[in-house]
Amino acid sequence: MLEKIEQARERIKNVAVWTPFSYSVLLSEANSFEVYLKKENLQLTGAFKLRGAFNKIATLSEDERKNGVVAASAGNHAQGVAYSARHFGIDSIIVMPENTPLTKINGVKSYGSTVVLHGANYDEAYEYAVNIAKESNLAFVHPFEDIEVIAGQGTIALEMLEDIPDLDAVIIPVGGGGLISGMAKAFKAIKPDITVIGVSALGAPALKKSFDAKEVVAPVAVKTIADGIAVRNASSITLSHMIESVDEVITVDDEEIASAILLLLEKQKLVVEGAGAVGVAALMHGKIKSNRFKKVGVVLSGGNIDVTMLSVIIEKGLMKSSRKMKLIVTLIDKPGSLTDLSRLLASAHANIVHIGYDRTSTALKYGDAHVTIHLETKGIEHQDEISAVLLENGYLYEKQN
The CATH architecture of the domain made up of 2-47+146-316 is: 3-Layer(aba) Sandwich (3.40)
Please calculate the CA angle 170-175-179 and round it to the nearest 5 degrees.
50
> CA geometry: angle at 113 spanning 108 and 115, to 5°?
75
Give yes or no for residue 16 having a pLDDT over 90.
yes
**Per-residue confidence (pLDDT) for residue 120, from 0 to 100:** 82
133-147, 216-230, 244-258, 274-288: least confidently modelled range: 216-230
| 120-132 average pLDDT score | 89
Q: What pLDDT score was predicted for residue 292?
A: 87
Burial class from Cβ neighbours inside 10 Å (0-12, 13-18, 19+) for residue 109 reads middle
Cβ atoms of 81 and 73 closer than 8 Å: yes
Average pLDDT, integer, range 134-140: 94
Please give the DSSP secondary-structure letter assigned to residue 173: E
Q: Read off the pLDDT of residues 365-396 as tens digits, 9 standing for 90 and up.
A: 899 999 999 999 999 999 999 999 999 999 99
According to the model, what pLDDT value does residue 254 have? 96
- What pLDDT score does 221 carry? 83
Over range 275-294, report the average pLDDT: 93
Give the pLDDT confidence score for residue 260 in this predicted structure: 97
* pLDDT at residue 14, rounded to an integer: 95
- Rounded CA-CA distance 149/49 in Å is 9
- Output the CA torsion sign for 225, 227, 228, 231: positive
Domains 54-140 and 322-400 share a fold: no
- Residue-level pLDDT at 3: 96
- What angle do the packed helices 49-59 and 2-12 form, to 10 degrees? 90
pLDDT of residue 266: 95
Query: In what helix (H) or strand (E) does residue 312 lie, and over which residues does it extend?
Result: helix 307-320
* pLDDT reading at 148 higher than 90: yes
Q: For residue 102, what pLDDT is reported?
A: 81
Q: What is the mean pLDDT of residues 301-318?
A: 92
Q: Please check the confidence at residue 301 and state whether its pLDDT lies above 90.
A: yes
In percent, the amount of the chain with pLDDT more than 70 equals 100
pLDDT at residue 294, as a whole number: 95
- Identify the residue with better confidence: 123 or 117: 117
Average pLDDT estimate for 307-322: 92
pLDDT at 185 over 90: yes
Does the domain at residues 54-140 carry the CATH identifier 3.40.50.300? no
Please determine, looking at this structure, whether the domain spanning 322-400 carries the CATH number 3.30.70.260.
yes
Q: Are strands 34-39 and 295-300 parallel, antiparallel or unpaired?
A: parallel
Indicate the SS3 state at residue 323. Answer: coil
Three-class SS of 108-133: HHCCCCEEEECCCCHHHHHHHHHHHH
Q: What is the arithmetic mean of pLDDT over 288-306?
A: 92
Which of 99, 91, 102 is closest to 125 using CA atoms? 99
Model confidence at 311: pLDDT above 80: yes
Could you tell me which of 238, 83, 69, 221 has the C-alpha nearest to residue 140? 69
pLDDT at 104: 81
User: Percent of the chain beyond pLDDT 90?
Assistant: 86
What does the pLDDT average to over 213-234?
88
Q: What is the pLDDT of residue 361?
A: 86
Residues 6+ apart with CB under 8 A from 383: 322, 325, 377
Q: What is the mean pLDDT of residues 140-168?
A: 97
Q: Give 53-112 pLDDT, tens digit per residue.
A: 999 999 999 999 989 999 998 789 999 999 999 999 999 999 998 988 787 888 899 999
Reference 191, options 245, 240, 119, 242; nearest CA is 245
pLDDT at position 52: 98
| Distance, CA of 61 to chain centre | 34
* 306 pLDDT higher than 90: no
* Average pLDDT over every residue of 10-29: 97
| Annotated domain spans of the chain | 2-47+146-316, 54-140, 322-400
pLDDT at 121 over 80: no
Mean pLDDT within 315-331 = 93
Helix (H, G, I), strand (E, B) or coil at 296: strand
DSSP annotation of 35: E
- Contact between 171 and 199 under an 8 Å Cβ cutoff? The reply is yes
